[in-house]
Structure 1
């Protein structure tokens, strides 16, 4: 498996399993706090049509995120592609997952287009879509590269750690080592995923449900402990009451014996 190519040289960029699971994790954790969930969209392996004069020209990022658009096309339909001139909003962030056949194009190392030819991927992201943030992840070397648009071009960012904060989204994108629970299995490794302003990794819906279940279980255990504590307090109160009653009975017996003794000595205890 490791020696045979995962791509068709004539059609590079065909997804392997990582190209399936990784975009899914990005989608399931993409929740910009400044936007309602129904005003955020993310696509993976979805055509972006960008030129009204050339309807057959498109690029297909591994993953991209857009804000301030309907989550569903027209409010209720699943998208078959992302048509820029109909949507009215360009992607805020694009992520490419490096593979041997697409690395030069992903990193802008391919030759610029010739007249009447479609622009390169880099040209589309930089000059046409003007993507504010472009991220490239190499799974083999665990290298994260990030680029930000300065109004003229995409410029590389210096990352002191494999994390990128995106202020306009109020989200960060970074490398996370852990076990990702897919719909089919649990897969351990290094993953790209989103984190919040506190640096906490955003949970998927499955992880959030598990956390809620764990919290509910902890609350149930706490409630059970409180019930047990209340029962112990009731039992302790009953034992204290019984002890007090026994002390009172003993005190009465002792007082009765003392009174009898005083009467034997011709002393009226009531007169004392």
Structure 2
């Protein structure tokens, strides 16, 4: 059970410009690529509105008992901001600068209990922060090595409930009208597990390279179709010429 801090005061304040943000490095080289892949397919499918944004290793802020609490998820989707983008370059404060993030993703790390930490005392753990402080509707933990994906949804009891994937192993994110799931294959020289989006009709949202390949195959099919049509036309012309030659040999003059 998630603990609740006693006599806590939660406010939403802008991070001072001179506040020194944590500069922790990412766990490994794969994490930025995994995050970029998620954003790329949303952009190409026009599923990223102008007022929305995604970010990687980026500060989400709250103020608990007059102390700033900042978590930098591996990937986050914010559906709408209500301030100029220049105001959220360094960090983002929900309620004050826009909507609560729809989805926060953490890639499983070597830090023991980090993504699952329900520590309520300052500084609170990640799980507690997303669930009890920000109340993000969807919190997901992904193990890139094992290809294991977990999704927790904020329920009516104001707690995270572990969700059961569909028959294809995917999770429906109703706020985004998309499925989130695991895909195995090659991208940017990495052959492994990736997180991908599928629409309501189970169509995969493609990456740029896949769209280029899809267009190349379509062009090749069109070229083959045009070549086949040309061959058929030539065969028809040759057949007509043979027929006219046969009629002339029989003493008949074909009509023009």
TM-score, scaled to structure 1: 0.73
State the match for 1:154 in structure 2.
Answer: 160
1:120 to 112, 122, 125: 125
C-alpha separation in 1, matches of 2:228 and 2:81: 48
SS where residue 237 of structure 1 aligns?
A: helix
State the match for 1:64 in structure 2.
Answer: 76
Alignment of 1:68-87 (within 5 A): 68-69=80-81, 74=84, 79-87=89-97
Q: Are the equivalent residues in 1 in contact too, given 2:45–2:205 (CA < 8 A)? A: no
C-alpha separation in 2, matches of 1:12 and 1:233: 72
Structure 2 unaligned regions, length at least 5: 1-22
1:178 and 2:188 are equivalent in the alignment: no
State the match for 1:135 in structure 2.
Answer: 140
Deviation of the 1:40 alpha carbon:
3.2
Structure 1 unaligned regions, length at least 5: 1-10, 251-272
TM-score, scaled to structure 2: 0.77
C-alpha separation in 2, matches of 1:34 and 1:150: 29
SS where residue 251 of structure 2 aligns?
A: helix
Q: Which moved more, 1:47-56 or 1:118-127?
A: 47-56
1:106 and 2:115 are equivalent in the alignment: yes
Q: Are the equivalent residues in 1 in contact too, given 2:27–2:109 (CA < 8 A)? A: no
Q: Which has the larger radius of gyration?
A: 1
SS where residue 188 of structure 1 aligns?
A: strand
Deviation of the 1:56 alpha carbon:
4.3
Q: Are the equivalent residues in 2 in contact too, given 1:133–1:147 (CA < 8 A)? A: yes
SS where residue 233 of structure 1 aligns?
A: helix
Q: Are the equivalent residues in 2 in contact too, given 1:98–1:106 (CA < 8 A)? A: yes
Alignment of 1:89-104 (within 5 A): 89-101=99-111, 103-104=112-113
State the match for 2:26 in structure 1.
Answer: 14
